[in-house]
Amino acid sequence: MVRTTQLLHPQRTPAALRPAATVLLLRDSPQGIEVLMTRRSMTASFAPGAYVFPGGGIDAADALAHGQSTRRAAQSDLHLTQAIAAIRESFEELGVLLARRADGSHLATEDIAALDRRAPFAAQCSERGLTLSGAEVFVLAHWITDRDLPRRFDVPFLVARMPEGQEPVADESEQFEPEWVRPADALSRHEAGNFFIIFPTIRTLDRLKAHGSVQSVLDACAVNDEPLFTSCPRAGFLNGAESRHMEHEAPFGELAMVSPDGQIKHELAWQTERPVPLLRNVMRLTAPNPGFMTGPGTNSYLVGDPSTGYIAIDPGPAEPAHLERLWRAAGGDLRAIVCTHSHADHSPGAPGLQALCTKAPPILGLASAPTARANSHFIPERELGDDERLTLKNANGDTRHTLRVVHTPGHAANHLCLVLEEDGLLISGDHVLNGSTTVIDPPDGHMGDYLASLDKLAALCDEHAIDFILPAHGYVLGDLRQAADNLSAPTEGGAKAAIEHLKAHRLAREAKVARAMQASPKGTMDDWVKLAYDDVPERLWPVAKRSMLAHVERIQSLGGFNL
């Protein structure tokens, strides 16, 4: 894990979580699903003026009302309590009652008007012989309020079908202006600036709009009787404006590393004019070579601090302005230059960067293999050994930063990664990227070696408690594992999960390649790419064919099809 001494900002304890429940009341219409939303009071302490779904805090009485509710066989005690809380809140805020008489019918709006929304809820239902419809309320999503906010809630977003014969009547205290709206329309109106909704609402509506009927939503939720997704978002700035992100989105890992407590401090916009501090001992400077294969550009990293000097990793192309910025960011004190591999966007800048230094740092890495292409020729001044350690020491001779060298052939025969041991960081070069999968281009690329290297990196994640991956292209990958401020979040986060997901993706693609070969045994690469990459835009097929050849060679090596 990252040393707290290397974090850029003093940490604070996020606000405690409060249990709550929210319910999306749904109905079918000729135009598709509609969801009931209301506007919160402008004086509300949380999301004032926002359009929301009814809901609120969970009361102790909600857990005591299990005996008054129906229940699915797979419905846990927690989910039933949450369902009862949502039923109560929809009654108190909107006069909608998810409960049935003994004959199975719902109360009509005029019957509900005779009830007191401020009186004890369960007791009123019991007096009238009503059974709460807990079994008809399903968990759609699970949101944990962002760590940066002063009021935080641990809240399931539940779904239920709107009872027939009822119309919403807002309490005119907490909720106003109930409105039925299609998810897509709500999102469009929000974009237009006349229907304010907050981040979890936006993302939930975005998922909901994919369903064609209420029953489709309920069926999806009933499969495992667990949330379809769980999220505790993180936020940074994008060109100066707040930008929030879920766990599966590219910037999330970087925000988790830079501001683990959730403070909104980090700028996410890509720029090449100055280095971006990620930790006190890690800076990233992105080369001005954005493109189809490089994304926002090649990331050069500086590891170290003023007391130890720096190691530059992947100086990038021979771009003088970029190299000078890299040299200046290190204060001219470079102790070594390491190239993760020999490709043209990674190593050519090394001699130019070295020439800027008064005391020339050694250029380290692995020499390009004979299989490398002509524009990937690279010979370091000294070759690094697998498992070798590069250290940076202060004036007292104390080791402050240790980079462990890991030979990871696959993308290139001479590819290596680096582990910053004290902080549990994996600097992955092109072996693991954020936002795309790396190209495996034979003969220098080899799919079998690539997959074996992924296994090697996954084992190192366990050994060094690695949570974050610093790729050569894209944002930092990964997330902190289950933390004290977010005990309800999934525990499968971290660098190892990203690596295992990447391997599973590669193997799934290989299975599609094998099926394409089987379906067209006399086919060509052009024939197979149409089948194996049918989920990829056609304009990407020429690049996809390079990795597909690596899959074909691996399939053949395992005793599969012969060309």
Give the number of residues written for the chain.
Answer: 563
Rounded Cα distance, 304 and 186, in Å: 49
**Of 144, 391, 425, nearest in space to 258 by CA:** 425
Give alpha helix (H) positions in 302-406.
320-329, 350-356
- First vs last Cα of the chain: how many Å apart? 48
- Within 10 angstroms of residue 495's Cβ, the number of other Cβ atoms is 28
Note whether 8 and 265 are within 8 A (CB).
Answer: yes
SS3 of 247-270: the string is CCCCCHHHHHHHCCCCCCCCECCC
Q: What does each C-alpha distance from 34 to 31, 53, 215 come to in angstroms?
A: 8, 12, 12
Neighbours of 518 (CB within 10 A): 11
Selection from 20, 17, 21 nearest residue 158 by Cα: 21
Give the residue carrying structure tokens 């990196």: 457
Cβ(156)–Cβ(142) below 8 Å: yes
| Contact in structure between 23 and 54 (CB atoms under 8 Å) | yes
Task: Give the ranges where 361-494 is alpha helix by DSSP (H).
Answer: 447-464
Catalytically annotated residues: 345
Q: Which residue has the tokens 């974009």?
A: 191
Looking at residue 283, its amino acid is: M
Do 221 and 228 contact (CB within 8 A), yes or no? yes
Q: Which of 156, 145, 212 is nearest to 24 (CA)?
A: 156
